Amino acid sequence: MTQLTGQPTTDDDVVHLTVPADGGYLGVLRTATAGLAARLQFALDEIEDLRIAVDEACAMLLAIATRDAELECRFAVTEDALTVEVTVPTVRGATLPSESSFAWKVLTALTTSAGARAADGRATISLLTRRSGGF
């Protein structure tokens, strides 16, 4: 389901994508990320950083996803920022890497902010990136 009206509203424009939780489908999410960041006129290096961050977040989630799971991705577009939330159902007892891990260092270096939560058998990683000069 895609919701991107392009019309001015008080709410964010939101795009939802759901793909199989398989590394072969991550290109779809990277492409959507780049397209939405370009729509916000992010610089080319900002777009590439965000693509890498989304890829890293998805890799973290794929490692703990249930068999035959779907990866849900929600993109919220504002005037100067893109928020990406990636969610997947997890196997019992699964945990995300600690915030001191290399993977988290990558996420926090490439985005304005990154966070994660796990509850009720699902894990979500949230990434916020603001366009340069948009602070």
Architecture (CATH level 2) of domain 13-130: 2-Layer Sandwich (3.30)
Q: Give phi and psi for 115, each to the nearest 5.
A: -155, 165
Q: In whole angstroms, what is the distance from residue 1 CA to residue 88 CA? A: 17
Q: CA separation (Å) from 106 to 6, 14, 51, 111, 112?
A: 32, 25, 12, 9, 12
Q: In whole angstroms, what is the distance from residue 82 CA to residue 120 CA? A: 26
The pLDDT confidence band at residue 100, using thresholds 50, 70 and 90, is confident
The pLDDT confidence band at residue 133, using thresholds 50, 70 and 90, is low
User: Each residue of 19-45: pLDDT tens digit?
Assistant: 999 999 999 999 999 999 999 999 999
